[in-house]
Amino acid sequence: MTVSSETRGLAVVTGASTGIGAATARELAGRGYHVLAGVRRDRDADAIRGPGLEPVILDITHPDHIEALAARVHEDSQGRPVRVLVNNAAVQANLPIEVFAIEEWRRMFEVNLFGQIAVTQALLPALIRSKGRVVNISSVGGRVAMATYGPYAATKFALEAVSDSLRRELAPFGVEVVVVQPGAVRTEMLGRAIAAAGDLPAMTSEQGQRYSGLVRAINNQAVSSTNAGLPAEAAAKVIARAVTARRPRTRYSVGREAALVHVVRFLPDRMLDRILAAALRPHSAVTT
């Protein structure tokens, strides 16, 4: 039986315009939460609005948006407590470290890490009062950094560290902090990542000689794995489990690639290098 939203309380989901965020917002609304779904554009708000789904314009790099979100939670007309924050908003672009401009590094950290922290800081007083829960959406890339994934993986490695520290800080107050690590999931993020890489300044001819084949192979591999990946709704069900479990695990993995997360700690670095290179090799000959 679905519990009423007045009983469940509020859930905040960032990055809810599409993909995992939108699927998670709908899943939690179906489970009785009143979901404040963070979106960046009015057309995205119109697309997700529905029973138990209230879109809020939220760019997590804008302090005024975060202040407005905190005020909306504090001034809820029905006095519902905020029970959960799902930090999902993220951007991705796969390029070699030499090529990825430093200003793009900063932008990626602003969205994937600093923005998440800012939203968490703003809502923590309310979450502590309600003994609520923080669910941070990391990635398999938060444990394994493949070639060209350095910038994205760096933000996710950092989010994993922040999550561990936050979990230990908030445990005495009854607030759980959970990490979800999706692998290949069929969302629009990959297409945006490839487009974002294409929009960046072109590689020099010297860099092109070094990396163009690698970038092409990585994109081919990513397309292949994503096409064979899970739908966003499957990831949303795992996130909902992390939200609702009475005693949640500290980490949940999603998808076939998630198995790599569990074995990587036991592999020597050089062996993992060879495994990843071998997995990439079949995609080097594929043309897009």
Structure tokens at 60: 């997590």
pLDDT of amino acid 188: 66
Residue 265, pLDDT score:
77
Per residue in 81-120, is it b (16+ CB within 10 Å) or e — as a string? ebbbbbbbbbbbbbbbeebbeeebeebbebbbbebbbbbb
Q: How far apart are CA 108 and CA 94, in angstroms?
A: 11
Cβ atoms 217, 283 nearer than 8 A: yes
**For 172-195, b where at least 16 C-beta lie within 10 A, e where not — what string?**
eeebbbbbbbbbbbbbebbeebbe
Q: Which residues fall within 8 angstroms of residue 85, CB to CB, at 6 or more apart?
A: 11, 12, 14, 119, 120, 123, 127, 132, 133, 134, 135
pLDDT at 228 (0 to 100): 67
Sign of the alpha-carbon torsion through 97, 101, 102, 103: negative
Residue 49 CA to residue 35 CA, distance in Å, equals 10
**Which pLDDT value is given to residue 264?**
77
Q: Distance of CA 268 to CAs 141, 184, 264, 265, 271, Å?
A: 18, 24, 8, 8, 5
User: Which segments of the chain have a pLDDT < 50?
Assistant: 1-6, 288
pLDDT of residue 3: 42
- Enumerate residues 6+ apart whose C-beta is below 8 A from 123: 12, 69, 70, 73, 82, 85
Checking phi first, is residue 70 left (phi over 0); if not, alpha (psi -120 to 50) or beta? alpha
What pLDDT is recorded for position 234?
Answer: 93
In sequence order, what are the residues at sequence separation of 6 or more whose Cβ sits closer than 8 angstroms to the Cβ of residue 229? Answer: 183, 184, 185, 186, 255, 256
CA distance 64 to 166: 24
Q: Select 5-284's CATH number: 3.40.50.720, 3.40.50.1360, 3.30.70.2700, 3.40.50.300.
A: 3.40.50.720
> What are the percentages of helix, strand and coil residues in the chain, rounded to 5?
55, 15, 30
Measure the CA–CA gap between 60 and 42, rounded to whole angstroms: 16
Residue 6 pLDDT: 45
Give me the amino acid identity at 9: G
pTM, 2 dp: 0.89
Catalytic residues: 152
DSSP 136: E
Q: How far apart are the first and last CA of the chain?
A: 47
